C-alpha cells in the first residue's frame, strides 16, 4: 500500500489509486472536466494538472497512479497558471450565453473561472460557430458551441448503456459531439448525460427553461418507480411556482449509493414524478352524492368510515371488511395498517398483492419488473392475514356482496380487474373507500374519497428488492387538504377506540424496529444516507 503526501497531508492508499482519487480521500478537490469516477479515464481536458516533486512537468491527476513516497502539490503558482491557460483555451470558442443557459449556476466553467481564471485574455480570434439547440432524442438537447469535448456523454453511452449513439466528429476546433448516422439518443438511461455534462452542452428537455437553479431547494429521497430504490435528489421550487405553471417538483437527479445505483438512474424513474403536480390530484375529502363527489370536512369523512367499520366489528362481522393496502406506502404506513386493521380490529381480509404490478423484465442493471418501491417491505411487515383472503379474492368477494366495506389505498383496481368488476364492487358494497393521490376509475366509483400525500410530501422508509431499508424525506407539504397515509390512520384509529401515540414517522419506525424482527436494531440515524439491510438479508 503506497503512501503519498498531497499538500502536506499523508495517506496510504491501495495499489493503482490515482492522484485525484487519493486527493478525494483527503477531501482535497482537484478541478476536473473529463474525469468521472464511474467512467473510464480520458485525460483530455488537462484541468486536473498537479505538480509532482522530482517530476519536471505537470502531471494529470486523473491518470497518474500514486507511488511510494510521492509528494504532490495541487495549488502551486505553476499549477494555477496552467489552469488559467486551460480555461482560456476551453473558453476560446465557448459562447458567452450564460444568461440563457440552463447550466448557469451549476456550470463548472463558471465556477473554475471564478476560482482560477480572472485572466486578461490575449486571444482576439473570432469564435467558431457550431450547431445549437439540436434535439438528440426525447429527453436531451445538444448545443455543440458550448461543448468542451470532455467525452463524458460518449463514454457513458459506450460503457454504461453500451448503446453507442455518440461520437466525436471532425478535427481541431471543428470537432464536435454528434450522433452516429441513423442513431437517436433514446436509451433507457439517456437523461444521465445531462447530469454528467459539466458545461450545459447537453440539457434536459423537461427541465429546460423551467426554473433557474438558484431558486431550487433540494432534499434526499428514494425513487418510487420500481423496487431497485435508486437514491435520488429531489429539486423543487416553492418560491416561483408561477414560472413553472404551478409545478413544484422540478427535476430528479441520481444520488450516489455504491450499493444500489452508483451514480445513475433510469429515465422511467427520472420522469415518473409528473403525477405529483398533476391537475387530477385529489385535494379534499369527498363523499358521493347523486353520483358526484362532494367535498366534505375530514371530520365528516373519517367519521363516516369509522362508524361503518365499528358497526361491522361490534357485530363480529370482520370477515365482511376488506382492506387493500399499497406497496407504494412506506414501511411505517404499512405497519400502521397491520396494527390497526389486523391487530386491533381483527380484520382478516387485508392484502397488498394486487395483480399487474410486475411489468416486463429486469434489465440486468437498474430497471426491475416490479414497479413498486416497497413490495419487500410489505412482505416483511406481513401486511396480509395468514388466514385471510388475498387481494383478488377480496375484490371478487366484494363484487358478490360478501364484503360490505372495501377500503382501497392508492391502487386503481380497474387497471387490474377491469372497470365492470369495480362497478359491481361499488354496487354490492355498503361503503367503498378510496385513499390515494390522484383521481382514477376506482375513486370515481367510491362512496368516500380520502386525499393522500405523494412520496415527496411525507417522511418514511422504503425497503428495496434486496432488503435495503432507505429513507425518503418530505420536500414540501401536500396540496389542498391531503394528508400522509400515516396521519389518516392515526386519526381513523382514534375514532375506532384504538388511539396511536405517534407524533411523527420516526415514532412509528422506532416501534416497528422493536416489534418486527427483520427491522430489529434499526433507527433513522443508523440508516444514514445509503440505508441498511434488514436482518433477514444478512445484516
Beta strands 59-60 and 49-52 are: antiparallel
Element at 515 (helix H, strand E): helix 505-515
Three-state secondary structure call for residue 51: strand
Confidence at residue 126, expressed as pLDDT on a 0 to 100 scale: 81
DSSP E strand boundaries for 437-526 = 448-451, 460-463, 468-472
What's the chain's average pLDDT? 93
Phi/psi at 256 (5° precision)? -65, 125
d(CA 41, CA 413) in angstroms, rounded, equals 50
DSSP reduced 3-state for 76: coil
Q: What percent of the chain has pLDDT over 70?
A: 97
How large is the average pLDDT for residues 97-104? Answer: 90
Where does the pLDDT of residue 538 fall: very low under 50, low under 70, confident under 90, or very high at 90 and above?
Answer: very low
**Sequence-distant (≥ 6) Cβ neighbours of residue 369 within 8 angstroms:** 226, 358, 359, 360, 361, 362
- Per the CB < 8 A criterion, the answer to whether 381 and 512 are in contact is yes
Residue 460 forms beta bridges with which residues? 472
- Judge contact between 498 and 342, C-beta under 8 A: no
DSSP state letters, 110-176? HHHHHHH--------PPPPP---SEE-SSSEEE-TTT-----HHHHIIIIIS----EEEES-GGG-E
Question: Is residue 60 very low, low, confident or very high in pLDDT (cuts 50, 70, 90)?
Answer: very high
What pLDDT sits at residue 241?
61
Angle at 108 between CA 106 and CA 110, to 5 degrees: 85
| DSSP assigned state of 536 | G
User: At 366, phi and psi to the nearest 5?
Assistant: -115, -30
| Cβ neighbours for 148, distance < 8 A, ≥ 6 positions apart | 33, 45, 90, 94, 109, 198, 199, 201
Radius of gyration of the chain (CA): 28
Q: How many CA atoms lie within 13 A of 245 on its CB side?
A: 7
Reduced 3-state DSSP string for 204-251? ECCCCCCCCHHHCEEEEEECCCCCCCCEEEEEECCCCHHHHCCCCEEE
Q: What is the 3-state secondary structure (H, E, C) of 381-396?
A: HCCCCCCCCCHHHHHH
Torsion of CA 87, 91, 96, 97, to 10 degrees: -90
| Residues 144-179 pLDDT 10s | 999 999 999 999 999 999 999 999 999 988 999 999
Instruction: Using a pLDDT cut of 90, give the percent of the chain over it.
Output: 84
Give the position of cell 482576439: 124
pLDDT, tens digit, 9 for 90 and up, residues 398-412 = 999 999 999 999 999
Contact status, residue 77 vs residue 58, Cβ threshold 8 Å: no
Q: Are 369 and 361 within 8 A, CB to CB? A: yes
The residues, any chain, with a CB within 8 Å of residue 520's CB and separated by 6 or more, are: 513, 514, 535
pLDDT digits (tens, 9 = 90+) for 422-437: 999 999 999 999 999 9
* 259 Cβ neighbours under 8 A, 6+ residues apart: 468, 530, 531
Q: How far apart are CA 353 and CA 311, in angstroms?
A: 27
Exposure of 92 in the CB half-sphere (CA atoms within 13 A): 14
Compute the average pLDDT of residues 49-59.
95
Question: In angstroms, rounded to a whole number, what is the distance separating the alpha carbons of residues 474 and 457?
Answer: 5
**d(C-alpha 342, C-alpha 348), whole Å:** 6
At residue 302's C-alpha, the angle toward residues 296 and 307, to 5°, is 120
Higher-confidence position of 425 and 387: 425
The DSSP 8-state label assigned to residue 339 in this structure reads I
Give the count of alpha carbons within 13 A of 290, CB side only.
1
Distance from the first to the final alpha carbon of the chain: 29
Reading the block at residue 264, the C-alpha cell is: 445513475
pLDDT at 244: 66
Q: Is the pLDDT of residue 33 over 80?
A: yes
Supply the pTM of this predicted model.
0.92
CB within 8 Å of 100: residues ≥ 6 apart: none
The residue ranking higher by pLDDT, 435 or 389, is 435
398: part of which helix (H) or strand (E)? Answer: helix 391-399
Residues contacting residue 267 through CB under 8 Å, at least 6 positions apart = 139, 188, 189, 190, 191
478-528 pLDDT tens trace: 999 999 999 999 999 999 988 888 889 999 999 999 999 999 999 999 999
Look at phi and psi of residue 364 and say left if phi exceeds 0, alpha if psi is from -120 to 50, else beta: left
What nine digits make up the cell of 198? 459539466
Identify the band that residue 536 occupies on the pLDDT scale cut at 50, 70 and 90: low
**What's the rounded mean pLDDT across residues 105-114?**
91
The band of 386, judged by pLDDT with boundaries at 50, 70 and 90, is low
Tell me the per-residue pLDDT of 249-298, one tens digit each, with 9 for 90 and over. Answer: 999 999 999 999 999 999 999 999 999 999 999 999 999 998 899 999 99
3-state secondary structure (DSSP) of residue 343: helix
Q: With 90 as the cut, is the pLDDT of residue 83 above it?
A: yes
Amino acid at each position: 500500500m503506497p503512501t503519498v503526501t498531497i499538500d502536506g497531508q499523508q495517506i496510504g492508499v491501495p495499489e493503482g489509486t490515482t492522484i485525484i482519487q487519493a486527493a478525494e480521500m483527503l477531501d482535497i478537490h482537484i478541478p476536473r472536466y473529463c474525469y468521472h469516477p464511474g467512467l473510464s479515464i480520458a485525460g483530455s481536458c488537462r484541468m486536473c494538472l498537479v505538480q509532482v516533486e522530482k517530476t519536471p512537468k505537470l502531471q494529470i491527476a486523473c491518470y497518474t497512479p500514486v507511488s511510494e513516497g510521492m509528494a504532490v502539490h495541487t495549488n502551486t503558482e505553476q499549477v494555477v497558471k496552467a489552469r488559467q491557460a486551460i480555461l482560456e483555451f476551453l473558453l476560446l470558442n465557448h459562447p458567452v450565453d450564460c444568461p440563457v443557459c440552463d447550466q448557469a449556476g451549476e456550470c463548472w466553467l463558471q465556477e473554475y473561472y471564478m476560482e482560477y481564471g480572472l485572466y486578461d485574455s490575449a486571444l482576439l480570434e473570432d469564435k467558431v460557430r457550431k450547431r445549437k439547440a439540436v434535439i438528440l432524442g426525447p429527453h436531451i438537447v445538444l448545443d455543440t458551441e458550448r461543448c468542451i469535448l470532455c467525452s463524458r456523454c460518449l463514454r457513458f453511452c459506450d460503457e454504461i448503456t453500451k448503446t453507442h449513439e455518440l461520437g466525436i466528429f471532425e478535427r481541431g476546433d471543428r470537432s464536435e459531439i454528434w450522433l452516429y448516422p441513423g442513431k437517436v439518443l433514446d436509451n433507457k438511461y439517456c437523461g444521465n448525460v445531462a447530469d454528467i455534462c459539466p458545461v450545459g452542452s447537453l440539457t434536459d428537455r423537461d427541465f429546460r427553461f423551467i426554473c433557474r437553479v438558484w431558486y431550487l431547494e433540494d432534499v434526499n429521497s428514494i425513487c418510487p418507480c420500481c423496487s431497485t430504490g435508486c437514491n435520488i435528489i429531489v429539486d423543487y421550487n416553492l418560491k416561483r411556482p408561477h414560472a413553472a405553471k404551478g409545478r413544484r417538483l422540478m427535476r430528479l437527479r441520481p444520488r450516489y449509493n455504491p450499493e444500489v445505483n452508483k451514480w445513475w438512474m433510469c429515465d422511467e424513474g427520472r420522469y415518473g414524478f409528473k403525477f405529483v403536480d398533476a391537475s387530477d390530484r385529489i385535494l379534499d375529502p369527498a363523499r358521493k352524492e347523486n353520483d358526484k363527489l362532494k367535498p366534505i370536512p375530514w371530520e365528516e369523512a373519517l367519521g363516516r368510515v369509522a362508524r361503518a367499520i365499528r358497526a361491522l366489528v361490534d357485530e363480529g362481522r370482520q370477515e365482511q371488511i376488506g382492506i387493500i393496502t399499497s406497496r407504494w406506502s412506506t414501511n411505517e404506513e404499512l405497519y400502521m395498517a397491520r396494527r390497526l386493521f389486523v391487530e386491533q380490529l381483527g380484520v382478516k381480509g387485508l392484502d397488498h398483492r394486487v395483480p399487474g404490478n410486475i411489468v416486463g423484465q429486469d434489465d440486468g442493471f437498474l430497471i426491475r419488473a416490479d414497479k413498486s418501491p416497497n413490495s419487500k417491505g410489505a412482505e416483511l411487515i406481513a401486511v396480509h392475514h395468514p388466514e385471510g383472503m388475498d387481494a383478488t379474492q377480496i375484490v371478487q368477494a366484494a363484487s358478490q356482496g360478501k364484503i360490505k366495506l372495501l377500503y382501497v389505498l392508492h391502487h386503481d383496481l380497474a387497471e387490474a380487474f377491469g372497470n365492470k368488476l369495480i362497478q359491481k364492487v361499488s354496487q354490492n358494497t355498503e361503503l367503498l373507500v378510496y385513499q390515494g393521490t390522484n383521481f382514477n376509475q376506482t375513486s370515481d366509483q367510491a362512496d368516500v374519497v380520502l386525499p393522500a400525500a405523494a412520496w415527496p410530501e411525507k417522511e418514511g422508509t422504503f425497503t428495496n428488492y434486496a432488503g435495503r431499508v432507505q429513507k425518503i424525506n418530505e420536500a414540501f407539504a401536500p396540496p389542498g387538504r391531503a394528508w400522509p397515509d400515516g396521519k389518516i390512520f392515526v386519526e381513523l384509529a382514534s375514532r375506532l377506540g384504538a388511539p396511536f401515540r405517534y407524533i411523527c414517522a420516526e415514532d412509528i419506525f422506532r416501534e416497528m424496529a422493536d416489534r418486527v424482527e427483520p427491522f430489529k436494531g434499526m433507527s433513522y440515524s443508523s440508516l444514514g444516507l445509503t440505508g441498511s439491510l434488514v436482518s433477514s438479508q444478512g445484516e
